[in-house]
Amino acid sequence: MDEYVWPHIGPEAAEKIQEAWPVTCQVLPVGKRITATVIGRQPFGIFVRMHGVPDAVGLAEVVGMPRDFELPQLGARVEGHVADHVERNHQVRITLDGWVPPWNGSSASRL
Could you report the per-residue pLDDT of 86-107, keeping only the tens digit for each?
999 899 999 988 765 554 544 3
Per residue in 37-68, pLDDT (tens digit) is: 999 999 888 999 999 998 899 999 887 677 77
Instruction: Quickly state the pLDDT bin for 34 (edges 50, 70, 90).
Output: very high
Other CB atoms closer than 10 Å to residue 48's CB: what's the count?
27
Which of the 8 DSSP states describes residue 5? Answer: B
Total domains in the chain come to: 1
SS3 17: helix
Alpha carbon distance 47, 17 (integer Å): 14
What global pTM score does this model have? 0.79
CATH, residue 71:
2.40.50.140
Question: In sequence order, what are the residues at sequence separation of 6 or more whose Cβ sits closer than 8 angstroms to the Cβ of residue 109?
Answer: 103
Task: Give a yes or no: residue 37 inside a domain.
Answer: yes
Task: Give a yes or no: residue 5 inside a domain.
Answer: no
Per residue in 65-85, pLDDT (tens digit) is: 777 778 889 999 999 999 999
Look at residues 35, 55, 56, 57 and name the one whose alpha carbon lies nearest to residue 47: 57
Task: Give a yes or no: residue 78 inside a domain.
Answer: yes
